[in-house]
């Protein structure tokens, strides 16, 4: 069985559609939701903190601004459970080399991803070296996927982007996005 882990920040209107798509999946028997607007905003790292509390060994997660074909990604994950399976659209599949660093690969966690709960401990290597800084909170997905030290199963699938009343809340819209992205990738690649 699978635990779905969702983080939400200023997009509460999207949760009903996302939850509706998740409860249709018979292999998901637990949904955990973290509202990053309540208490400390852990940004992307919030999903990994929450996943530690999951009752199941397999985690499904996605961002709060899309609905994806969960069944398709899960089917591909089951074909090779040694790799993270992530949803992607055609354009990203075509530039996969841009996300590959030797034996490591950046995974697109936000468009739907399946991974094993036990894998979360790779983040401890980053925390031991750099602490829980702003880069870590923002870029935990990039750091996690690179630290797994493998190529991921990028699954071309349908992704419906949900309406966003305020597009400026997306992390990629932040003025320092490219700086944090570059720093996270550099740090993750240097960690053994």
Q: pTM to 2 decimals?
A: 0.91
- 99 domain residue, yes or no: yes
Is residue 166's pLDDT more than 80?
Answer: no
State how many domains the chain has: 1
- 170 domain residue, yes or no: no
Task: Give residue 36's pLDDT band: very low, low, confident or very high (50, 70, 90).
Answer: confident
Residue 90 is part of which domain span? 2-120+150-163
- 188 domain residue, yes or no: no
pLDDT digits (tens, 9 = 90+) for 131-158: 999 999 999 999 999 999 999 998 988 8
Q: What pLDDT is recorded for position 17?
A: 95
Sign for the CA dihedral angle at 129, 150, 179, 12 comes to: negative
Q: Are 65 and 173 in contact (CB under 8 A)?
A: no
Task: Give residue 10's pLDDT band: very low, low, confident or very high (50, 70, 90).
Answer: confident
């Amino acid at each position: 069985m699978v635990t779905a882990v969702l983080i939400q920040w200023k997009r509460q209107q999207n949760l009903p559609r996302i939850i509706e798509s998740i409860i249709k999946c018979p292999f998901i028997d637990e949904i955990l939701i973290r509202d990053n607007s309540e208490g400390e905003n852990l940004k992307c790292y919030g999903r990994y903190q929450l996943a530690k509390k999951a009752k199941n060994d397999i985690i499904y997660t996605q961002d709060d601004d899309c609905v994806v074909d969960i069944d398709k990604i899960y089917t591909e994950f089951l074909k090779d459970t040694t790799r993270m399976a992530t949803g992607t659209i055609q354009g990203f599949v075509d530039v996969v080399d841009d996300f590959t660093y030797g034996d490591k690969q950046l995974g697109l966690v936000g468009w739907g991803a399946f991974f094993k709960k036990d894998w979360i401990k790779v983040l401890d290597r980053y925390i031991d070296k750099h602490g829980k800084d702003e880069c870590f909170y923002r870029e935990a997905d990039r750091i996690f996927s690179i630290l797994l030290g493998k190529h991921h199963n990028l699954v071309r699938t349908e992704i419906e982007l949900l309406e966003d009343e305020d597009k400026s809340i997306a992390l990629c819209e932040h003025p320092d996005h490219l700086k944090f992205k570059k720093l996270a990738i550099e740090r993750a690649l240097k960690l053994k």
